[in-house]
Structure 1
Amino acid sequence: MSASKNKNVLIYRLGSLGDTIMALPCFHKIKDSFPDADITLLTNKPVMAKAAAIEAILGTGYFFDRTINYPVGTRDWKVLLDLIKQIRALKIDTVVNITPVRSKKAILRDKLFFMAAGVKRLIGFDVLEEDINVVTDPQTGVNEWEAKRLARRIKVLGDIDLEAPQNWDMRLTPAETNAANTYFDLVAQGSPVLAISLGTKNQANDWGLINWQALLIQLSGILLNWKLIIIGAPDETVLADACLESWGREGINLCGKTTPRISAALLKRVSLFIGHDSGPLHLAACSGVPCVGIYSARNMPGQWFPRGKNNQLLYKLPECAGCGLETCIEKQKKCILSISVNNVQQAALKIINSGKPKISPVLYN
């Protein structure tokens, strides 16, 4: 197919930090497929205060030329009509849909919406059953990786090499890199650096401050020449201060002080990252850092694994695994709280002591 006739392209993508990182290879493929196009991104307004806007993750001026933001799930006909008018005014001829598929009814509704906006070419709207319901990947025995699911949606544009580093390049600017270096040099001074993030949008994914403090006390006694950097949202500052106190040595609390892109530039220079199944974990893995991921079992293993093969991903799978709960009251977070401080410490030391990157197994029960 020729991309030369497609001068005004719209990418339809919803999500926050982790979701956006998972879609990064698709953004690269779209950019490569329509190199001369004027590209608009239709996306959601951040659903909560601590969720980053997509421009803060992907930057501006490379993957797209502008964004149109709207409230997810709106049924306000005035809002929808205004969106249609904006799309028509931009003379969009092609829409590439890489937003998660909720149902066949939803995909049909989206298709009719874009047709009403005058769009002639629709890519990513012909979905398979596995695009709606996550299936087990026969090659891995776990749920299909989200990055792979998204890449399949736009296969008409060509195959995407999910192993290629260039497909995970966030196109950081020199200014962003310089800002990150300033923060890094405040603490590193030639020493290896451990980075952590306590952040998570969902209570079910939170390992708990007591566990984090115990972990840092242990690691501080082992990693004698290491420094600590903590990244996260502004509302995690107090928790991060408590973790720095437990670490007891050189470190810096950058919660609320760095954008996602400056954090990504910063993470390129650290030696190890530890975090929940949340956006910062995917940001670190995207930056090439080996990660220890502390996972709840609200989602089954596989779909939301971070990029990379030198990670240690900690899972416990009780009988209630796969519940999908954002808040766990009845089982009192049995899954994630069954992961011990020693489990995480051992996973971190396994990465540190490995001579070469290896494909790491998921650590189950």
Structure 2
Amino acid sequence: MKKNENKVLIYRLGSLGDTVMALPCFHKVKESFPDADLTLLTNRPVATKAAPLETILGTDYFFNRVLNYPVGTRNPVVFADLIWKIRSLKIDTVVSLMSTRSQLAVKRDRFFFKAAGISQFIGLSDDNADSPPGNSIETEWEAVRLARQVNALGPIPLDDNRYWDLRLTAFELQLAEQALYTIPHRTPIIAVSIGTKNQSNDWERNNWTQLFEQLRASLSGWRLVLIGAAEEAERSNTILEAWGGKGLNLCGKLTPRVSAAVLKRASVFVGHDSGPMHLAASVGTPCVGIFSARNLPGRWFPRGTRNRIIYHRTECAGCGLEICLEQQKKCILSITVNEVQKAILETISIRTQTGFLA
């Protein structure tokens, strides 16, 4: 196989957080097939506020074109059309960056791609199905799992910043500066995102409001910048009001990539287990992450060593619930305002001591 002559299909579903976690693998594919014609196969977002994968990766480096389809469809016409489109591109290699799959799902994926004329599979062996090797109680970090899944391409150094590079353009960085033009350049910023797709991950408005009311006195010279989807703008305004109005509510006003450029300016990010948290981590901004226990600890923690993860493990940890009624979200709602405030102030103190705020 001559890698520089290949036509490669990259298969990855998901939205913001899923995409950021797969960034090192996207870089590895590009590194392994530097001159290949790359096609991205992904999903159309289910939620209106979810960002399409291509708006996160950009359109001029990681792939040449996008094919997408509605997740969960059973329509044979949709599948036949997708197979025809893939066959017409004469693709010979597929790299699967999919989430954990059952052996049946892996076999089904191989059958589909064979029908589409693809002969070489990376990340679609039976060894990649189900759980990671070993008997660890904790869940394997998603970035490690994905790197292991495509180990046929070679090792991926997940501690190397280059593999987390979104390759933001000069224009995107300029748009971020324009969005922040009312904040003097050397003024320290706390970036905040209070949005979440799941009710079970929501720390709730009263906690957020109290947190920033308490922090105001300690960080009087700082500015808040709130990011997220347009649907989160009204709720985010209450946070800005609690801060005294000193900052910006940019919810719904930025693309994911310009949001990343804005987050690059921040000294710390505070938010739920969410896409914006992973976006902040990808550009090197330390995160204070407020986690529910719907997932076991570890799998969806952000990259980097300067983050403060607040996670209370309860007996029902790993439930996977999107809506928690019976236990009334006791995992995330047991996290106190003082606990989060302490984590933020300690993160800022460390950054100050190491010269990051100079």
TM-score, length-scaled by structure 2: 0.96
- Find the counterpart in structure 2 of residue 165 from structure 1: 161
- Give CA deviations for 1:306-339 in whole Å, capped at 9, x if unaligned: 0100000001112111110000011111000000
- Find the counterpart in structure 1 of residue 349 from structure 2: 353
Counterpart of 2:67, as a letter, is: I
How many Å separate the matches in 2 of 1:298 and 1:193? 30
Counterpart of 1:266, as a letter, is: V
How many Å separate the matches in 1 of 2:144 and 2:184? 36
2:325 to 326, 329, 345: 329
How many Å separate the matches in 2 of 1:39 and 1:322? 36
- Find the counterpart in structure 2 of residue 49 from structure 1: 48
How many Å separate the matches in 1 of 2:290 and 2:255? 23
- Find the counterpart in structure 2 of residue 16 from structure 1: 15
- Give CA deviations for 1:201-239 in whole Å, capped at 9, x if unaligned: 000000001100000011111111111100000000111
Give 1:128 shift.
Answer: 2.4
Map 1:164-243; keep pairs closer than 5 Å. 164-243=160-239
How many Å separate the matches in 1 of 2:48 and 2:33? 33
How many Å separate the matches in 1 of 2:109 and 2:64? 22
Question: For the Cα contact (< 8 Å) 1:98–1:153, is it kept in 2?
Answer: yes
- Find the counterpart in structure 2 of residue 86 from structure 1: 85
- Find the counterpart in structure 2 of residue 155 from structure 1: 151
Give 1:102 shift.
Answer: 2.2
Counterpart of 2:106, as a letter, is: I
Give 1:133 shift.
Answer: 2.4
Give the aligned length: 353
- Find the counterpart in structure 1 of residue 3 from structure 2: 3
- Find the counterpart in structure 2 of residue 104 from structure 1: 103
Give 1:132 shift.
Answer: 1.5
Q: Which runs of 5+ in 2 are unaligned?
A: none
Question: For the Cα contact (< 8 Å) 2:5–2:35, is it kept in 1?
Answer: no
- Find the counterpart in structure 2 of residue 361 from structure 1: none
Question: For the Cα contact (< 8 Å) 1:187–1:250, is it kept in 2?
Answer: no
How many Å separate the matches in 2 of 1:81 and 1:276? 39
- Find the counterpart in structure 2 of residue 363 from structure 1: none
RMSD: 1.5
- Give CA deviations for 1:19-64 in whole Å, capped at 9, x if unaligned: 0000000000000111111100000000110100011100102000
How many Å separate the matches in 2 of 1:156 and 1:175? 36
How many Å separate the matches in 1 of 2:131 and 2:325? 26
Structure 1 position 318 matched with structure 2 position 305: no
- Give CA deviations for 1:233-276 in whole Å, capped at 9, x if unaligned: 00001111111110004110000000110000111111010000
How many Å separate the matches in 2 of 1:311 and 1:136? 27
How many Å separate the matches in 1 of 2:293 and 2:344? 20
Give 1:198 shift.
Answer: 0.5
How many Å separate the matches in 1 of 2:214 and 2:242? 9
- Find the counterpart in structure 1 of residue 253 from structure 2: 257
Counterpart of 2:115, as a letter, is: A
Give the SS at the match of 1:48.
coil
Question: For the Cα contact (< 8 Å) 1:136–1:142, is it kept in 2?
Answer: no
How many Å separate the matches in 2 of 1:206 and 1:253? 19
Percentage identity across paired residues of the two chains = 56
How many Å separate the matches in 1 of 2:296 and 2:158? 21
How many Å separate the matches in 2 of 1:290 and 1:137? 31
How many Å separate the matches in 2 of 1:90 and 1:350? 53
Question: For the Cα contact (< 8 Å) 2:38–2:62, is it kept in 1?
Answer: yes
How many Å separate the matches in 2 of 1:121 and 1:134? 23
Give 1:291 shift.
Answer: 0.6
- Find the counterpart in structure 2 of residue 40 from structure 1: 39
How many Å separate the matches in 1 of 2:132 and 2:184? 42
Question: For the Cα contact (< 8 Å) 2:314–2:331, is it kept in 1?
Answer: yes
Give 1:4 shift.
Answer: 3.0
- Find the counterpart in structure 2 of residue 132 from structure 1: 130
